[in-house]
Structure 1
Amino acid sequence: MTDVQGYRAVLGVIGPSTNTVVQPDMERMRPVGVTNHYRGIFVTDPVALSNEDFLAGTTAISDNTMTAVREAMTCKPDYLVLGMSAITFYGGIAGGAKFKAEVEALAGVGASTGSEATIAALNAFGGIKRVSFVSPYYPVANAEVRRYLEESGFETVRDVPLECKCWTDIAKVSPERLSEVIAYLDGPEVDAIIQVGTNLSMVQLAADKERELGKPVIAINTATYWHALRAIGITDKISGAGRLLEEH
């Protein structure tokens, strides 16, 4: 028998309990016959005033991920979408692969992570060598993103850590502020612009900026959901969320 609403796929979506952006972002990209089931990784809303605070906060997310995975698997999803990004970049390619392998071993199904999805998106566009990115992180985490990109063959031209003071503040960063940052990140030497940090709302803005700038602008929630759909064989072209879902 097949799930009446998720007759094409039932997806477990895992993200921090403080995250208010992943769930609506991925609902807007959801094809007919696919259902999303958000399960929160329990975290408090810590104040991050330093690199050390930020690392401690992301470590708490990592430590509690497996409990959320166990909960998600009770609805028997076909695949997992990991809606947290910082910890998927930590430790470079090897660190990201280790984290994913641990999740998949527990779940018994496949999973898409933000780090691998970002690289897959860049490769899907082709011809991209130099990138810039924005995050809500502190500099220590941006360094991990740069490392992952470098190990994957991409040069980071510029990056901006917004240094949001707590997890819920990330969702309050306005499109106007992000537009200012994108203007700084852009340049003729930049082939693509990336946004990481899943509670930073940028799906619509990224799609708008792609049209304006004439180059890929990749929002991590778009990339991760796209990666998950393609991994399970759903190739629907979805409009309104940028070129990645419309063309690849």
Structure 2
Amino acid sequence: MTANPDAPTCAVPAPAGLSRIGLIVPSSNTTMETELPELFRRQSEATGHRYTFHSARAAMKQVTREELLAMVDRAADCATAVSDAAVDVIAYACLVAVMAQGPGAHKESEQVIADAARANGHPAEVVSSAGALVRTLRGLGYSRVAIVTPYMAPLTRMVREYIEGEGIEVLDAVALEVPDNLAVGRLDPERLPDIARGLRRGGADAIVLSACVQMPSLPAVQRVEDELGLPVITAATATAYEVLAALGHTPAIAGAGRLLAGASAHEAEGA
């Protein structure tokens, strides 16, 4: 998560009780702009604070290394465009596009976006889904995980290696092998509980139910967590967690796993 200090700005602050969230998403993404607003709707129900979402899109249809790298090249332009809305935080919502650049790439990607927003006169906090996932796992002390991805096997291996490069052992990684990003967005989250049951999770600290912001997973998160008794995290819930942290807000989101449920859930976990 990258801060943007001490820069001249022409931003008009959001009204009291309102935060603006910018999203940079692949052009074919249909999930992040539904799951993230739903999570923040639940946050608003609990706290009364309101959130609005403002998106910029970067061309990407097939989940191939070539298209992912081309999308990354457009990140700065997207950051400039979305920062025109004077957003408080920008979420770069394509996990695999960042990880495809190599170990630790989330840090550079977040800096590129932060620099572009600041140069545009609208500095904002920056969170990437890739960075949010690995930082959240590490921050909670989850050093052994099992993961589910929609990617082809080579990209799934790359995601696994990226996570392991951050000091987190991946005990099992299921690749659903769906190359078309629109098709990924049409995957049925009702299949995820059965897939999760089949994971090799002996010794796991947590399950990453969707290591992809495009694969729908929110309806299954709480069910899998309740059934298997392990914390369940997704790229989307980790991103929401870091966006809230960037805004200085305490999570209070129901039905999306203990990560976003607030302090009481973590106290119960440690009891």
Partner SS, residue 59 of structure 1 = helix
Question: Is contact 1:17–1:42 with CA below 8 Å preserved after alignment?
Answer: yes
| Number of aligned positions between the proteins | 240
TM-score, normalization by structure 2: 0.81
**What one-letter code is carried by the residue in structure 2 that aligns with 1:196?**
A
Name 2:226's counterpart in structure 1. Answer: 211
Report the aligned-residue RMSD.
2.1
Partner of 1:169: 183
One-letter amino acid matched to 1:203? L
Q: Is the 8 A contact 1:15 1:83 kept in 2?
A: yes
Deviations 1:43-84 (A, max 9, x none): 2534x6xxxxx1122123212222221110111111111211
Of residues 78, 90, 98 in structure 1, which corresponds to 2:100?
90
Displacement of 1:240 after TM fit?
1.7
8 A Cα contact 2:147 2:174, kept in partner: yes
The answer on whether the counterparts of 1:81 and 1:111 sit within 8 Å (CA) in structure 2 is yes
1:149 to 145, 163, 172: 163
Deviates more, 1:196-205 or 1:64-73: 64-73
**1:84-233 mapped onto 2 (5 Å cutoff):** 84-108=94-118, 109-126=124-141, 128-194=142-208, 195-233=210-248
Aligned position for 1:51:
none
- Structure 1 residues 23 and 160: CA distance shift in structure 2, 3 A: same
Task: Using the TM superposition, give the Cα deviation of residue 104 of structure 1 relative to its aligned residue in structure 2, in angstroms.
Answer: 1.0
Equivalent of residue 65 in structure 1, options 48, 72, 75: 75
**Structure 1 residue 156: Cα displacement:** 1.0
Equivalent position of 2:57 in the other structure: 41
Deviates more, 1:117-126 or 1:12-21: 117-126
Deviations 1:80-101 (A, max 9, x none): 1121110222345432211111
Q: Which runs of 5+ in 1 are unaligned?
A: 49-53
Specify whether residues 173 and 230 from structure 1 end up closer, same or farther in structure 2 by C-alpha distance, changes over 3 A only.
same
Superposed counterparts of 1:12-27, under 5 Å? 12-27=22-37
Amino acid at match of 2:138: N
Distance 1:204 1:41 in 2: 25
Q: What code does the residue aligned with 1:3 have? A: A
- Paired residues of 1:29 and 1:238 also in contact (CA < 8 A): yes
8 Å Cα contact 1:121-1:244 kept in structure 2: no
- The alignment status of 1:238 with 2:253, answered yes or no, reads yes
Percent identity of equivalent pairs: 24
Give distance in 2, aligned partners of 1:93 and 1:78: 28
After superposition, give the CA deviation of every residue in 1:133-157 in whole Å (9 maximum; x if it has no partner).
Answer: 1111122322232222222221111
Aligned partner of 1:76: which letter?
A
Q: Deviations over 1:172-225 (max 9, x none)?
A: 111243233212224323221112111101122122101111101111101101
Maintained 8 Å contact 2:32/2:93: yes
How far apart, in 2, do the equivalents of 1:14 and 1:35 lie? Answer: 16
- Structure 2 residues not aligned, in runs of 5+: 1-11, 119-123, 264-271
